């Protein structure tokens, strides 16, 4: 009997379409006298309740770039999606109840969701139309277009009219107000709210389908056109003032705009239909690199960016960053090339990203013919590389317009020179005569380095000769000679004033329109010496014709410029200890020298070439006035031996008489077991700054070195066997280092020195002709001979050791020892030199203490909070269940304690 009652109740409920939840809502509305009860029929309330839970939202289109797929967890994604869904399902006024229907689903396969990437794009350079943002206007129009294709829900009044007319619920409107075809079949008469029916298949004619597809295609093309217009307008105000070809074939071109203080905008054009990778690192490898994968989808034509990084342990596939810090602006793809414009912050505060500054950084590139799949890029193979650049540094001065009538060029280069394979370092010099008689102005220079020998040519320097003797004219017919060797003719020693200095990786330099360096000044003929340094560690046999091209004009510029050399004298007494992460040395230019040689209005610095060798890490040129350090003239905290491009100044710096200049070099020698000495070889070290300035003065070089006695005192050496410290010091200053390289030194070799004039005047005279910047022949073998020849006599604990053995035995890994030596040699006594263009000293050599000045305050950089890596969603956003469980356990524990 009970079973019969249950069956009867079930059948009755099924016949009348009863809905207990509807009855409950109706009962509550009637009991609480809600607004819906007062304004609507109970039947409508039941319909409203059912419709509210079972109505399916119409198709919502997001046209544009689909969002980057991410393999990691985005903690904000779920929260944002839930907030959007909540806003879209607002309850009716007066009804505080909302019952989501888990049965909801998409009614049709054509109702896809497209993500409109424009919603997330920054408004970069967006123009205004009638006082309104163009992007906002486009988004409004796009929403209207979406509504045209979306299923629009009916109001209560419209639904009542439809019920009265047909008893059927219509699922939305059709394009062009087309007549709705009849349904498959009529609903049952007992259904209170008819189910949703789709039109019969026989009425879905092909033309109707095509028409709908065509309208959708027209709509999407319209959106793409508008998006393209917005993309063009977005970057209209972005001026890509910098451009660089990253590879040798011209397949990857990078343009960027460094004018904004917070954001840098890039434009990359690559010869590929797949992905192009752009990265940033200290070296040209993927270990620890900041990587960006960019591609245009072959089907949707949408731009995709993926912020990634390389692991520091090995060259493996890129790993997706937790924080995506790049923003796509626009992009397109034709039959051969892909072009993408994107932006990022200079400082993203992401530990996986590199901070981009004006320092040298390697810009990496990679190409692949196919798009990544599921954010996994295929291995690029050999289609990759890197180029050193300074992204935030001021742009170099542009060359004059092509084919300018008054601009000529003069090629100064070697002719089929056979580089020796018997040594790893070779300096070759050759004499040239200026092609013009009478003064002209050099306005720029560009390198002439053979492609196959780019890795061997270390630097090229052109010196002007003080002498105008016709003897030098005869030497122009010679192939040249080894620089600074006994075989070099004596007449060449007058060629000392640098006119230009090119180093590895540089593209040359063009001077500002108001600046020119005089060339060919002497009517009887002006001679120059070209110096080419070859670094040939593999000792290859090559034929080379490298040099430089000088661009000059007969139309004089407003200001005549010159080059001043500052830094540390090139000498083996410039010692850099081994096993050091950072070790600093400095060359000091005194206020006495600048006060004597600079005009009253001072000089204006245009550009600077910072020069060091393989151990150089950070280089700078400091400026001190009246005991206070001024803003640094130039600096590079990531010095790259293979990229020694000149530093163009954004604003010219004025150095007044009495100012002090300090060229500082910080070295890294963790991989070196022995001390590094100053010299010309690539494995030796230099610390020089070539300063282009105007007006030109008679000052050619202002530099310093550690006094001989102070160096050996700092190393704990009191005296050497067979030679006094005084004689050793004078020998360094008068005869260079070749004498110390003799295998069999006898004390009689120095007796002649004692008979010479030992007064200060005599010492200065000797120094004037002997000590010259970059003139002491200090090849590696001579330095080794020097340090293995001097034998320590005192103190007794070091007696019998050679200088080389003593340097090797010192515990350089002891931080206190290294820092003590660094402090004594950097901030201690400096032997200073003030040399003029005619190779004479403007004042006697003097030993001075390094200045005690107020250092420049360290800039207060943005302090970044390291982004916490996400390991699981549970770690980022605790679930409500876990929160409730935790609170319940806590309350239970407290209740138990009470």
The CA radius of gyration of the chain, in Å to the nearest whole number, is 40
DSSP helix/strand/coil, 319: strand
E-only strand ranges, 449-494: 457-465, 481-482
Tally Cβ neighbours within 10 Å of residue 850. 16
pLDDT above 60 (res 472): yes
Please give the Cα distance from 254 to 613 (Å, whole number): 28
Please give the Cα distance from 302 to 64 (Å, whole number): 7
Residues 6+ positions from 801 with CB-CB distance below 8 Å:
791, 792, 809
DSSP 812-828: TT-HHHHHHHHHHHHSS
Which of the residue ranges 283-287, 344-348, 570-574, 874-878 would you say has the lowest mean pLDDT?
Answer: 874-878
CB 367 within 8 A of CB 252: yes
Check residues 512 and 37 and name the one with the higher pLDDT: 512
pLDDT above 70 (res 375): yes
Residue 681 — very low, low, confident or very high, per pLDDT cuts 50/70/90?
confident
Which of the residue ranges 85-89, 217-221, 848-852 would you say has the lowest mean pLDDT?
Answer: 85-89
Which of the residue ranges 62-71, 79-88, 494-503, 615-624 would you say has the lowest mean pLDDT?
Answer: 62-71
**Token pair in block for residue 835:** 């040399």
Torsion over CA: 877, 881, 886, 891 (sign): positive
Mean pLDDT of 174-178: 40
HSE-up of 584 (CA within 13 Å, CB side)?
15
Which of the residue ranges 177-181, 249-253, 394-398 would you say has the lowest mean pLDDT?
Answer: 177-181
Burial tier of 392 (Cβ tally within 10 Å: 0-12, 13-18, 19+): middle
Torsion over CA: 178, 179, 180, 185 (sign): negative
DSSP helix/strand/coil, 68: coil
State the pLDDT at residue 827: 96
State the pLDDT at residue 280: 96
Mean pLDDT of 37-63: 41
- Pick from 115-119, 588-592, 769-773, 884-888 the range whose average pLDDT is largest: 588-592
State the pLDDT at residue 607: 97
Pairing of strands 688-694, 699-705: unpaired
**Which helix (H) or strand (E) segment is 854 a member of?**
none
State the pLDDT at residue 797: 93
Mean pLDDT of 202-208: 47
DSSP state of 312: S
- Residue 542 has φ and ψ, to the nearest 5°, of -135, 160
DSSP state of 372: -
The residue to which tokens 């905008």 are assigned: 265
Please give the Cα distance from 311 to 287 (Å, whole number): 5
Q: Which segments of 17-131 does DSSP mark as H helices, in order?
A: 20-32, 35-39, 42-54, 75-88
Check residues 127 and 335 and name the one with the higher pLDDT: 335
Check residues 626 and 235 and name the one with the higher pLDDT: 626
Tell me how far CA of residue 680 lies from CA of 180, 426, 569, 574, 615, in angstroms: 90, 9, 11, 12, 13
Pairing of strands 515-519, 559-560: parallel
Tally Cβ neighbours within 10 Å of residue 507. 12
**Token pair in block for residue 501:** 């200095």
Check residues 857 and 589 and name the one with the higher pLDDT: 589
CB 535 within 8 A of CB 490: no
CB 65 within 8 A of CB 303: yes
Residues 6+ positions from 573 with CB-CB distance below 8 Å:
678, 705, 706, 708, 711, 732
Residues 6+ positions from 553 with CB-CB distance below 8 Å:
406, 407, 408, 440, 441, 443, 516
Give tens-digit pLDDT for 492-525.
988 988 999 999 999 999 999 999 999 999 888 8
Please give the Cα distance from 882 to 554 (Å, whole number): 83
Residue 380 — very low, low, confident or very high, per pLDDT cuts 50/70/90?
confident
**Token pair in block for residue 885:** 């469980």
Burial tier of 622 (Cβ tally within 10 Å: 0-12, 13-18, 19+): buried
State the pLDDT at residue 205: 47
State the pLDDT at residue 427: 92
State the pLDDT at residue 691: 97
Mean pLDDT of 616-638: 96
pLDDT above 80 (res 443): yes
Mean pLDDT of 861-873: 48
**Which helix (H) or strand (E) segment is 245 a member of?**
strand 242-245
Please give the Cα distance from 787 to 572 (Å, whole number): 9
CB 344 within 8 A of CB 369: no
Give tens-digit pLDDT for 707-757.
999 999 999 999 999 888 888 877 766 544 333 332 333 333 333 333 344
pLDDT above 90 (res 581): yes
State the pLDDT at residue 775: 39
pLDDT above 80 (res 53): no
Average model confidence (pLDDT) across the chain = 75
State the pLDDT at residue 852: 93
CB 706 within 8 A of CB 830: yes
CB 654 within 8 A of CB 531: no
Mean pLDDT of 149-165: 48
Mean pLDDT of 106-124: 39
State the pLDDT at residue 165: 46
Mean pLDDT of 631-642: 95
Residue 773 — very low, low, confident or very high, per pLDDT cuts 50/70/90?
very low
pLDDT above 90 (res 654): yes
DSSP state of 707: -
pLDDT above 90 (res 191): no
Q: In residues, how long is the chain?
A: 898
- Residue 835 has φ and ψ, to the nearest 5°, of -105, 140
State the pLDDT at residue 484: 80
Which are the catalytic amino acids?
427, 611
Which of the residue ranges 642-651, 684-693, 740-749, 877-886 would you say has the lowest mean pLDDT?
Answer: 740-749
State the pLDDT at residue 744: 32
CB 325 within 8 A of CB 345: yes
Which of the residue ranges 258-272, 708-722, 768-782 would you say has the lowest mean pLDDT?
Answer: 768-782
Of the candidates 389, 332, 344, 327, the residue with the CA atom closest to the CA atom of residue 364: 389
DSSP helix/strand/coil, 822: helix
CB 507 within 8 A of CB 446: yes
pLDDT above 80 (res 437): yes
Check residues 61 and 158 and name the one with the higher pLDDT: 158
pLDDT above 80 (res 96): no
DSSP helix/strand/coil, 148: helix
Of the candidates 688, 759, 691, the residue with the CA atom closest to the CA atom of residue 730: 759
State the pLDDT at residue 37: 54
With a pLDDT cut of 90, the percent of the chain lying above it is 47
State the pLDDT at residue 120: 41
Mean pLDDT of 453-462: 92
Check residues 79 and 99 and name the one with the higher pLDDT: 79
**Token pair in block for residue 461:** 């320097």
pLDDT above 90 (res 700): yes
The residue to which tokens 């100012």 are assigned: 659
pLDDT above 70 (res 25): no
Mean pLDDT of 667-675: 93
The residue to which tokens 């107000």 are assigned: 177
Check residues 7 and 49 and name the one with the higher pLDDT: 7
State the pLDDT at residue 377: 82
- Residue 812 has φ and ψ, to the nearest 5°, of -70, -20
Mean pLDDT of 282-286: 89
Residue 97 — very low, low, confident or very high, per pLDDT cuts 50/70/90?
very low
pLDDT above 50 (res 593): yes
Residue 67 — very low, low, confident or very high, per pLDDT cuts 50/70/90?
very low
Residue 839 — very low, low, confident or very high, per pLDDT cuts 50/70/90?
confident
Estimate the share of the chain in helix, then strand, then coil, as percent rounded to the nearest 5: 25, 30, 45
Give tens-digit pLDDT for 211-261.
656 666 665 666 555 555 544 445 556 789 899 999 988 999 999 999 999
- Pick from 235-249, 531-545, 880-894 the range whose average pLDDT is largest: 531-545
State the pLDDT at residue 117: 38
**Token pair in block for residue 749:** 């070799």
State the pLDDT at residue 68: 37
DSSP helix/strand/coil, 365: strand
Whole-prediction pTM: 0.69
Please give the Cα distance from 498 to 518 (Å, whole number): 12
């Amino acid at each position: 009997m009970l079973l019969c009652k249950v069956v009867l109740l079930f059948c009755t409920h099924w016949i009348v379409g009863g809905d207990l939840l509807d009855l409950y809502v109706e009962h509550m509305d009637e009991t609480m006298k809600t607004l819906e009860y007062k304004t609507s029929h109970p039947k409508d309330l039941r319909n409203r309740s059912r419709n509210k839970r079972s109505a399916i939202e119409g198709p919502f289109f997001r046209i544009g770039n689909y969002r980057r797929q991410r393999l990691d967890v985005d903690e904000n994604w779920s929260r944002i999606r839930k907030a959007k869904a909540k806003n879209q399902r607002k309850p009716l006024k007066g009804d505080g109840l909302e019952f989501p229907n888990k049965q909801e689903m998409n009614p049709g396969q054509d109702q896809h969701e497209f993500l409109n990437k424009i919603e997330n794009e920054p408004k970069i350079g967006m123009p205004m139309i009638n006082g309104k943002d163009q992007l906002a206007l486009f988004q409004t129009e796009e929403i209207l277009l979406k509504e045209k294709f979306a299923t629009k829900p009916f109001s209560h009044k419209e639904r009542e009219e439809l019920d009265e007319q047909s008893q059927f619920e219509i699922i939305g409107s059709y394009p062009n107000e087309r007549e709705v075809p009849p349904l498959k079949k009529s609903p049952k008469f007992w259904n209170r709210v008819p189910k949703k029916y789709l039109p019969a298949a026989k009425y879905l004619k092909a033309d109707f389908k095509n028409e709908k597809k065509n309208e959708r295609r027209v709509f999407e093309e319209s959106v793409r056109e508008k998006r393209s217009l917005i993309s063009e307008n977005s970057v209209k105000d972005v001026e890509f003032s910098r451009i660089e070809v990253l590879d040798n074939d011209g397949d990857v071109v990078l343009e960027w705009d460094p004018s904004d203080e917070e954001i840098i905008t890039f434009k990359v054009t690559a010869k590929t239909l797949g992905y192009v990778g752009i990265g940033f690192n200290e070296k040209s490898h993927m270990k620890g690199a900041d990587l960006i994968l960019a591609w245009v989808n072959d089907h949707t034509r949408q731009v995709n960016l993926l912020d990634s990084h390389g692991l520091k342990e090995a060259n493996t596939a890129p790993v997706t960053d937790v924080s995506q810090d790049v923003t796509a602006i626009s992009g397109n793809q034709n039959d051969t090339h892909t072009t993408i414009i994107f932006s990022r912050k200079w400082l993203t505060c992401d530990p996986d990203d590199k901070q981009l500054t004006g320092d040298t950084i390697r810009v990496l590139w990679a190409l692949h013919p196919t798009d990544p799949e599921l954010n996994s890029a295929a291995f690029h193979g050999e289609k990759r590389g890197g180029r050193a650049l300074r992204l935030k540094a001021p742009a170099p001065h542009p060359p004059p317009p092509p084919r300018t009538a008054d601009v000529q060029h003069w090629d100064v280069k070697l002719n089929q020179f056979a580089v020796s394979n018997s040594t790893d370092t070779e300096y070759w010099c050759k004499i040239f005569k200026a092609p013009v008689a009478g003064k002209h102005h050099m306005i720029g220079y560009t390198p002439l380095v053979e492609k196959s020998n780019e890795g061997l040519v270390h630097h090229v320097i052109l010196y002007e000769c003080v002498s105008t003797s016709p003897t030098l004219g005869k030497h122009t017919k010679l192939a040249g000679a080894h620089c600074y060797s006994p075989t070099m003719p004596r007449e060449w020693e007058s060629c000392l004033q640098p006119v230009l200095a090119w180093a590895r990786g540089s593209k040359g330099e063009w001077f500002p329109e108001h600046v020119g360096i005089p060339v060919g000044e002497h009517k009887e003929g002006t001679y120059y010496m070209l110096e080419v340094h070859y670094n040939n560690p593999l000792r290859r046999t090559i034929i080379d014709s490298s040099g430089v091209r000088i661009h000059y004009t007969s139309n004089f510029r407003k200001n005549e410029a010159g080059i001043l050399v500052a830094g540390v004298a090139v000498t083996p007494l410039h010692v850099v200890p081994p096993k050091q992460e950072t070790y600093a040395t400095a060359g000091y230019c005194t206020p006495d020298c600048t006060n004597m040689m600079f005009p009253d209005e001072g000089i204006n610095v245009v550009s600077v070439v910072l020069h060091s060798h393989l151990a150089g890490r950070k280089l700078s040129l400091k400026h001190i006035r009246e005991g206070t350090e001024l803003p640094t003239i130039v600096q590079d905290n990531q010095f790259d031996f293979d990229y020694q491009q000149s530093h163009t100044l954004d604003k010219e710096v004025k150095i007044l008489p009495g100012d002090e200049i300090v060229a500082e070099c910080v070295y890294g020698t963790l991989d070196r077991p022995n001390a590094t000495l100053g010299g010309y070889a690539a494995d030796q070290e230099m610390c020089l700054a070539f300063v282009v300035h105007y007006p030109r003065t008679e000052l050619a070089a202002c530099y310093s070195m550690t006094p001989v006695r102070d160096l050996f005192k700092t190393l704990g050496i009191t005296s050497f066997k067979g030679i006094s410290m005084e004689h050793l010091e004078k020998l360094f200053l008068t005869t260079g280092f070749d004498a110390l390289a003799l295998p069999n030194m006898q004390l009689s070799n120095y007796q002649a020195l004692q008979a010479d004039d030992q007064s200060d005047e005599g010492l200065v005279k000797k120094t004037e002709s002997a000590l010259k910047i970059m003139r002491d022949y200090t090849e590696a073998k001579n330095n080794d001979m020097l340090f293995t020849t001097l034998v320590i006599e005192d103190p007794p604990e070091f007696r019998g050791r050679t200088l080389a053995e003593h340097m090797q035995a010192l515990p350089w890994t002891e931080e206190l020892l290294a820092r003590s030596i660094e402090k004594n040699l950097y901030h201690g006594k400096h032997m200073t030199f003030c040399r003029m263009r005619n190779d004479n000293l403007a004042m006697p050599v003097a030993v001075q203490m390094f200045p005690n000045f107020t250092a420049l305050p360290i800039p207060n950089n943005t302090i970044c909070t390291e982004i916490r890596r996400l390991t699981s969603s549970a770690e980022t956003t605790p679930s409500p269940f876990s929160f409730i469980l935790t609170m319940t356990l806590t309350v239970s524990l407290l209740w138990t304690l009470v």
